Amino acid sequence: MMEEHSKAEGTFSGDEASSIVKECVEVILCGVDYDETRVNEWMSAVIEQSLTHLVKLGKAYKYIVSCIIMQKRGGGLHTASSSFWDNTTDGTCAVRWENRTMYCIVNVFAVAINL
């Protein structure tokens, strides 16, 4: 699944990036409970694996990946982002994942490299 390529080489596929990120999050967080002492390790792993698989697509993009992990305690979390770029080539996607003890939100920004 992680080796699939989008239809057009010059466009960012948010669906493709979301699938990659979801699979990385599942591999790292599936079956574990929130543990404050491991959050930094998990976030680093999600970011590094997501970046590795995105780069393997071989597309001319610079990627920015951010990750938030929050314990489920009934509190609110609101996030927002904005970008000024070329909507025909650049793109973004957000992945929200949860289990019974935590939420994980991953944002991917892809900025085309003009060669």
**Where are the domains positioned within the chain?**
14-112
DSSP state of 41: H
Residue 7, pLDDT score: 41
Q: Is the pLDDT of residue 3 over 90?
A: no
Beta bridge pairs of residue 94: 107
User: Strand 61-71 and strand 91-98: pairing?
Assistant: unpaired
The pTM of this model reads 0.87
User: How would residue 9 be classed by pLDDT, with cut points 50, 70 and 90?
Assistant: low
Phi/psi at 63 (5° precision)? -115, 140
Q: How confident is the model at residue 80 (pLDDT cuts 50, 70, 90)?
A: confident
CA distance 46 to 40: 10
Select from 3.30.1140.40, 3.40.50.720, 3.40.50.10440, 3.30.930.10 the CATH code of 14-112.
Answer: 3.30.1140.40
CA–CA distance, 98 with 43 (Å, rounded to integer): 14
